[in-house]
Amino acid sequence: MLVEDAIALVPSIPGRRALLGMAGAPAAGKSTLARRLVHGVNARLGADMAAYVPMDGFHLSNAQLARLGRAGRKGAPDTFDVDGYVHLLRRLRSSHERPVYVPEFDRRLEEPIAAGLVVLPQVRLIITEGNYLADDGPGWEAVRDLLDELWFVDAPRAVRERRLLRRHIRGGRSEPEAHAFIASSERPNADRVEAARANCNRVVTTRE
């Protein structure tokens, strides 16, 4: 059903692109769903008709977070390069003749990686996801106007926090450190994301 809805967004006019955004709290399942939809669209319409573009590639580096005194708040809206992300979305809408290289986020390194992904000229549907695509804060409010549709990906808090706990332990934090970071950073970020739910076109719920 969701693959069919994504396919329906693919422009019928050659040379045009559609952008589908997915907002949601940390560990709601946005990246997993986005990748599945890209795979499903490509399986139906042909290779490289859809591409995945994560907002997380615009995390500020750990060096910049340390410089700004925001290392303990990593994941908050002001720990991303929102202007760079908005510029990329505009470029993806207007550029169809050459590949567009896209940064991605490496969870093992906890750092963004330049040109980790590529959007090829033939791509007709771009699926982008991140916490703050529906946000009304400075810079973020420009995102919605660049998207054809914006879905809110939801999951119960208990499910999200179990996923976050596993994620942070795999990333090198001890269990007490992971619980502390979830309480001090991830929960407030999730509350902010939830507050923007009404800015989305539909809600998609994921579960374990």
| Distance between CA atoms of residues 168 and 132, nearest Å | 20
154, two tokens: 């939801």
Its domain, for residue 81, covers 2-205
The pLDDT value given to residue 104: 97
> Which of these, 202, 197, 178, 201, lies nearest to 25 by C-alpha position?
197
Question: Residue 147 carries which DSSP code?
Answer: -
Beta-carbon count within 10 A of 56 CB: 19
52, two tokens: 């995945």
The pLDDT value given to residue 60: 98
The pLDDT value given to residue 206: 87
Q: Name beta bridge partners: 203.
A: 152
User: Residue 33 maps to which CATH number?
Assistant: 3.40.50.300
Taking a C-beta distance cutoff of 8 angstroms, is the pair 146, 18 a contact?
A: no
Q: pLDDT tens string for the chain (208 positions)?
A: 899 999 999 998 877 999 999 999 999 999 999 999 999 999 999 999 999 999 999 999 999 999 999 998 999 999 999 999 999 999 999 878 899 999 999 988 989 999 999 999 999 999 999 999 999 999 999 999 999 999 999 999 999 999 999 999 998 899 999 999 999 999 999 999 999 999 999 999 987 6
178, two tokens: 């992971």
The pLDDT value given to residue 208: 60
> Which of these, 100, 65, 66, lies nearest to 81 by C-alpha position?
65
The pLDDT value given to residue 201: 96
130, two tokens: 């991140």
- Grouping H, G, I as helix, E, B as strand and the rest as coil, residue 22 is strand
Model confidence pLDDT, tens digit, residues 89-98 = 999 998 788 9
The pLDDT value given to residue 74: 92
The pLDDT value given to residue 15: 79
Q: How many domains does the chain have?
A: 1
| Distance between CA atoms of residues 204 and 208, nearest Å | 14
Taking a C-beta distance cutoff of 8 angstroms, is the pair 84, 92 a contact?
A: no
Q: What is the pTM of this model?
A: 0.94
Taking a C-beta distance cutoff of 8 angstroms, is the pair 19, 92 a contact?
A: yes
